Structure 1
Amino acid sequence: DLAPRPAGARADFLPGTPDLSLFPRAAWAAAQRGVLAELPHQALGYPDPRGLPRLRTALAELLARRRGVVADPERVIVVSGVAQATTLLGFVLHARGVRAIGVEDPGSPEHGALYASAGLDAVPLPLDGEGLASGPLKESGVRAVVTTPAHQFPSGIAYSARRRTELLDWARSVDGLVVEDDYDGDFRYDRAPVGALQGLDPERVAYTGSVSKSLAPGLRLGWLLVPAALAEEVVERKRTMDLGNPVVDQALLARFVERGDYDRQLRRCQRAYRERRDTLVSALEEHFPGTEVSGIAAGLHVIAVLPGRYGPPEYFLERTAAAGVAVRPLTDYGRTVERTDVRLVLGYAHQSPARIRDGVRLMAQALRA
């Protein structure tokens, strides 16, 4: 969710932002000094548009180990975040004659906007409790679809094993492509994360992720793994787009991953975000009894469905906005969302436990007022 943060809000529960104060400044600075000391002069020339071999190798090992991805360094392309990966794929698909791509509904508004910039129409496709509904997908006629199967945004579900199989069967049957946006796959709090869909069929799934939730979105560093049939076209499009990502930044991230600093950062974030999720759930139970928190224990947001006595939704949103509490309803993310009760997408990662408790209390006070 790339919406601007609210200026002057007393409490901010908008999703999509990690805690930027957790950025590992000391470790990052040490890695930068090491890179500048060891980087040969010739490495500062125009880079391989796929990315530095050192970083692609480090990312391939990391993604295979942590996410179960089938990752050949030759198929890893370093990009400036998932947004660029999405646009690259959109341009390549458009050049191949594709004019429409399926997107989850509800889903990330950015997916549709980014594909539209490449000339593709976004076709909203409904979800059920297991993931993208198979019937509407088959009936839509699309041959490409973008998904968030490890932790669907914003519903918070993980695609079931059956639905993953059905999705890949569909892709094979239409000679199609599944784009997997693994935006927060490392953050699962109740068990080991579900492996990436790409590991089940790397020739039918393009996999993308970034450091935006684990380190900081301002770094503009991410990765894209593409099927062999698309690799040359995506790399050529990347070359003509920007001639590749900055060399020093790539070498820095490679060193950060190689020396274990990235794993340490993920563990640090995992501990903090799990505590904040627990705090939010507890505060909702205290101030809004009967609230249902749905979705798996993962990621940086929850879906909260408040009891009917706190509605209608328009009244709730009006009162909380007047009190300076920034919240976003689930209806902002799709056409198929029920509009009869208060369903909120609440981001918690960027706030301390104390601010989370205060924010929920402010919401409750706003309604009592």
Structure 2
Amino acid sequence: MEALLNLAERTGRGLTAALRDAVADGRLAPGTRLPATRDLAADLGLSRGVVVGAYEQLVAEGRFVARRGAGTVVAENALAAPPRTPAETPAPEARALRPGVPDLKSFPRSDWKRAYGAALDNARHADLDYGDPAGTPRLREALADYLGRVRAARCTADDVVVTTGAAQAMSLLAGLTTGPIGVEDPGSAAIRDQIVAHGLRVRPLTVDGEGADPASIGAATKVFLTPAHQFPTGVVLAPRRRAAFVAWARRTGGLVIEDDYDAEFRYDRQPVGCMQGLAPDAVALIGSASKALAPGLRIGWLVVPPAWRARVHAAKAIADHGGPTLEHLAFAHLLENGGYDRHLRRVRRLYRQRRDAVVAALRTHLPHARIDGVAAGLHLVVELPPDVDDVALAHRAHEAGLGPIALSTLRHAPGAPGLVLGYATHRPDELTAAVATVGKLVRRP
């Protein structure tokens, strides 16, 4: 199959484009049966989630047809099938049960408008010039204070680099890395794709009831962890394993990359401090405002160990010459005047109610399914019977306008099938109806 594809870039977009071109010029003829997503992912060295996403996009465009029990084939009229217009394809944010996003309707528009106005009123002319690539000093000070107060981080403004979301923070570190990076299994498909896009190898780290297992580090030179709330299982990394990862980093000169992606949302347990606070010399802390406020702000941060500071600053300067000053100043204002904390208190109550609605609906419509990861975050995991094809189930759910992720697409090694369900974006009644639909799809022969 690889010989039929002109894969310009090893990303979901690159694979989708390569498959589309292969259909257009006849290399993939109508009626051709496509390889199973797991097989093609192995052949191309991509995550299964990338392949699943490419297949789903081309099904949505009418170029592929997914047939139950027969796999995915090239549509008979594939050459005549134009891409669907945005009006025909529901926007991602409209999909109930989509994990990874907050309730965008709850974005504090009035508070942000005031904060942005204050930033504009108080900004000096010099602030509008190219600034420090590490970010506006005022925001770095505010973030250092916030992270110390809320996440028990040990850092000063000099340790903080303001980034374009968590994705840029990870890219900066990956770009300075050689050798394999250990990644949790199951874990984030987006992170795996970033690592592969930088020409690096992924080393799966086994995840069990105590989180990622340091015994599976192998030849990795860095490890990527979500210790406060493992994605997707929700497990908290056990204290002895935290200590083991830190000891490994200090012994080998490695680095622990800690993604604190949804640390603000805890419901049934006490907050867990970040690993960086235990070992600021060995842990790089990544965070963002994407889950707390909105991904569209593109505001993130990276707290780097002192030994990495100069290299990261240089890479950041090359990447973008610094970020958007007015947005940085507005966010700093929101952190300083308590607006950020007030917003978090409001949405935390909202998300708890929505989580409770999803859990109750699952117990009604999928009473025998195991539910994990309910104590924190913006998503939970539903483990399904071993005979359920979770990839096909997620595809049917997407066709029904829902947005769950198949657990299998987040795995390297085989494991129990399941769905990752987000609950932040919709009202309890809408979530209840969405779970009822999933229940029907699971039971559908």
TM-score (norm 1): 0.91
Equivalent residue for 1:354, pick from 426, 429, 433: 429
- TM-aligned CA deviation for residue 149 of structure 1: 0.4
* 2-structure distance, mates of 1:232, 1:159: 30
Question: Per-residue CA shift, 1:105-157, capped at 9, x if unaligned?
Answer: 111011122223333222222112111112221xx111211110000011111
- TM-aligned CA deviation for residue 281 of structure 1: 0.4
* 1-structure distance, mates of 2:321, 2:245: 34
2:342 counterpart residue number: 264
Q: Is the 8 A contact 1:331 1:338 kept in 2?
A: yes
Q: Is the 8 A contact 2:234 2:373 kept in 1?
A: yes
1:8 counterpart residue number: 90
Q: Is the 8 A contact 1:320 1:367 kept in 2?
A: no
* 2-structure distance, mates of 1:38, 1:303: 46
Please say if 1:335 is aligned against 2:412.
yes
* 2-structure distance, mates of 1:35, 1:314: 46
2:331 counterpart residue number: 253
What does residue range 168-207 of structure 1 map to in structure 2 within 5 Å?
168-207=246-285
Distance change (3 Å), C-alpha of 1:63 and 1:46: same
Please say if 1:92 is aligned against 2:92.
no
- TM-aligned CA deviation for residue 322 of structure 1: 5.4
- TM-aligned CA deviation for residue 230 of structure 1: 0.6
Question: Per-residue CA shift, 1:11-48, capped at 9, x if unaligned?
Answer: 53231111100100001101111111111112111111
Mean alpha-carbon deviation: is it higher for 320-329 or for 38-47? 320-329
Question: Per-residue CA shift, 1:339-358, capped at 9, x if unaligned?
Answer: 4xx41111111111111011
TM-score (norm 2): 0.76
Could you tell me the percent identity over the aligned residues? 42
Please say if 1:208 is aligned against 2:292.
no
1:27 counterpart residue number: 111
Question: Per-residue CA shift, 1:249-285, capped at 9, x if unaligned?
Answer: 1111111100000111111121111111111000101
Q: Which amino acid aligns with 2:123?
A: L
Structure 1: stretches of 5+ with no match in the other structure = none
- TM-aligned CA deviation for residue 336 of structure 1: 2.0
* 1-structure distance, mates of 2:261, 2:228: 9
1:297 counterpart residue number: 375
Give SS of 1:125's match.
Answer: strand
Distance change (3 Å), C-alpha of 1:335 and 1:71: same
- TM-aligned CA deviation for residue 320 of structure 1: 4.0
1:117 counterpart residue number: 197
1:160 counterpart residue number: 238
Q: Is the 8 A contact 1:182 1:196 kept in 2?
A: yes
* 1-structure distance, mates of 2:142, 2:432: 39
Higher relative contact order (CA 8 A, sep 6+): 1
2:147 counterpart residue number: 63
Please say if 1:136 is aligned against 2:216.
yes
Q: Number of paired residues?
A: 360
- TM-aligned CA deviation for residue 62 of structure 1: 0.2
Q: Is the 8 A contact 1:151 1:296 kept in 2?
A: no
* 1-structure distance, mates of 2:167, 2:144: 20
Equivalent residue for 2:420, pick from 333, 336, 345: 345
* 1-structure distance, mates of 2:400, 2:331: 42
* 2-structure distance, mates of 1:70, 1:314: 41
Distance change (3 Å), C-alpha of 1:26 and 1:336: same
* 2-structure distance, mates of 1:319, 1:205: 41
2:207 counterpart residue number: 127
- TM-aligned CA deviation for residue 215 of structure 1: 0.5
2:156 counterpart residue number: 72
2:229 counterpart residue number: 151
* 2-structure distance, mates of 1:173, 1:350: 43
Question: Per-residue CA shift, 1:48-71, capped at 9, x if unaligned?
Answer: 111111110000000000001011
Q: Is the 8 A contact 1:81 1:210 kept in 2?
A: yes
Q: Which amino acid aligns with 1:249?
A: E
Give SS of 2:150's match.
Answer: helix
Equivalent residue for 2:101, pick from 9, 13, 17: 17
* 2-structure distance, mates of 1:25, 1:232: 36
- TM-aligned CA deviation for residue 92 of structure 1: 1.9
Equivalent residue for 2:129, pick from 38, 45, 51: 45
Mean alpha-carbon deviation: is it higher for 282-291 or for 257-266? 282-291
Q: Which amino acid aligns with 2:285?
A: Y
Q: Is the 8 A contact 2:391 2:409 kept in 1?
A: no
Give SS of 2:256's match.
Answer: strand
Give SS of 1:12's match.
Answer: coil
Question: Per-residue CA shift, 1:308-358, capped at 9, x if unaligned?
Answer: 6x835467456545544443221010122424xx41111111111111011
Q: Is the 8 A contact 1:99 1:119 kept in 2?
A: no
Q: Which amino acid aligns with 1:108?
A: S
Q: Is the 8 A contact 1:76 1:224 kept in 2?
A: yes
* 2-structure distance, mates of 1:123, 1:16: 24
* 2-structure distance, mates of 1:204, 1:216: 30
The CA RMSD measured in Å over matched residues stands at 2.3
Distance change (3 Å), C-alpha of 1:289 and 1:92: same
Distance change (3 Å), C-alpha of 1:208 and 1:365: same
Please say if 1:363 is aligned against 2:438.
yes
Structure 2: stretches of 5+ with no match in the other structure = 1-48, 61-88
